[in-house]
C-alpha cells in the first residue's frame, strides 16, 4: 500500500509542475501593468468608515470604492476568498487604510459569523493605488 501512495504522490507532483514553455500569469498589481485604469501608488486611504463598496476582486487585489474615488488594494500572498468575497471590512490602526493594515473578508452575505467555504480571512495590505474605473479596460488576450 505504501508503494502505491508514493507512486500516486509522484504522479500528482509531476502533474502540478509548471510547464516552462507557458508563461505564468502575472500576480498582484503586475497583472494591471498595461491597464489605463491603474494610477499612482498612494500611501493611504483616509476616513475608512466612508468606504462604501468593492469590486473587481482577484485572489490578491480588490478595488475599494470611497464616494467617487476608487483604490486598487493589493494584499500579500493569496487571500483565498477575496475573489469570492461577499463582505469586506477594514481593520486599520487609524482612520486611514495603509500598508500593513488588514482587509477582513467573508464569503457569506449572512455576516462574518456565518460563513461557508473558506470562511473569514484576514488579508494584509501590501500596496494601494489610485484606480480610474472610467478609463477603458484593456481587451482580453486570445489566450485567456
SS3 assignment for 75-132 = ECCCCCCHHHCCEEEEECCCCEEECCCEEEEECCCCCCCCCCCCCCEEEEEEEEEEEC
Ramachandran angles phi, psi of 141, nearest 5°:
-75, 155
DSSP H or E segment with residue 144: none
- Written as nine digits, the cell of 32 is 494591471
Per-residue pLDDT of the chain (144 residues), as tens digits, is: 333 333 333 334 344 454 556 668 888 999 999 999 999 999 999 998 899 999 999 999 999 999 999 999 999 987 888 998 889 999 998 999 999 999 999 887 766 665 555 578 899 999 999 999 999 888 877 655
Amino acid at each position: 500500500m505504501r508503494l502505491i501512495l508514493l507512486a500516486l504522490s509522484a504522479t500528482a507532483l509531476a502533474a502540478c509542475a509548471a510547464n516552462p514553455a507557458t508563461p505564468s500569469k502575472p500576480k498582484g498589481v503586475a497583472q494591471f501593468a498595461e491597464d489605463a485604469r491603474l494610477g499612482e501608488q498612494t500611501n493611504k486611504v483616509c476616513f475608512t468608515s466612508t468606504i462604501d463598496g468593492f469590486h473587481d476582486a482577484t485572489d490578491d487585489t480588490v478595488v475599494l470604492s470611497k464616494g467617487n474615488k476608487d483604490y486598487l488594494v493589493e494584499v500579500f500572498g493569496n487571500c483565498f476568498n477575496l475573489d469570492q468575497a461577499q463582505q469586506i471590512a477594514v481593520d486599520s490602526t487609524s482612520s486611514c487604510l495603509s500598508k500593513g493594515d488588514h482587509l477582513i473578508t467573508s464569503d457569506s452575505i449572512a455576516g462574518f459569523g456565518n460563513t461557508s467555504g473558506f470562511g473569514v480571512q484576514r488579508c494584509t495590505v501590501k500596496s494601494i493605488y489610485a484606480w480610474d474605473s472610467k478609463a477603458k479596460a484593456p481587451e482580453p488576450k486570445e489566450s485567456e
